[in-house]
Amino acid sequence: MARAVVQRLRGLVPYGRALELQERLAAGLRAGERPAAGGAVGTVLVLQHPPVYTVGKRGPGGDLMEGEAALRAAGAEVFRTRRGGQVTFHGPGQVVVYPVVDLRALPGRVGARRWVEGLEDTMVGACRAHGVAARGRVPGRTGVWVGDWKIGAIGVQIRGGVSTHGLAFNVAPDLARFAAIVPCGGHGAGVTSLAREVGRTVPRREAEDGLLAAFAETFRIKLEEE
């Protein structure tokens, strides 16, 4: 079974800092380095960001409902990235998982499509563990959905066989922040959270553990805490 190292980053991690960390880890994997003894296939970063809107390669079009200056004035950063996808929001109460992984070292044939589908399955599994029926692979829509409400977003970049970026799972973020954008191009769709669906506060650690367990099962990876 493949192995990966888990790093849980405390506090609110600025988006730029997380991006630099991913790029450094990815460069090491492309150069043949393996984290930890025994040759792990990569590092899974688990964190929360301060308020930030990120624009993928297919954004923004008309998906920024407010100008960038207005978003910054409201206390959020705006980043343009090289990941796939369109516009999304990250902030406190949302668990972000960035698996910086050498896909060539995973069991089976894991190409870009299977990787993205597996990240969807990871969030679906985390929802199921809390009794919430969610689904991915919705025609014309990206991410994971509870009915017509989006609960999780996905955006990845794969270069040299190594994936960066990943998934964002809404545990209990400020959902009003999403009103400033069309999340991931989902015109006419709303945004929900795990806390809203289960009707209670879900501790961050509990949400992280659920995501990591589902990720490990989906990709047949043994995760080891650093």
What residues are paired with 46 via a beta bridge? 8, 97
What residues are paired with 224 via a beta bridge? 5
* Token code pair at residue 172: 């209990």
127: annotated active-site residue: no
SS (H, E, C) 85-144: CCEEEECCCEEEEEEEEEHHHCCCCCCHHHHHHHHHHHHHHHHHCCCCCCECCCCCCCCE
Q: How many residues does the chain have?
A: 226
Which one from 184, 195, 211, 216 is the annotated catalytic residue? 184
Q: Is residue 146 within 8 Å of residue 197, measured between CB atoms?
A: yes
Positions annotated as catalytic residues are 184
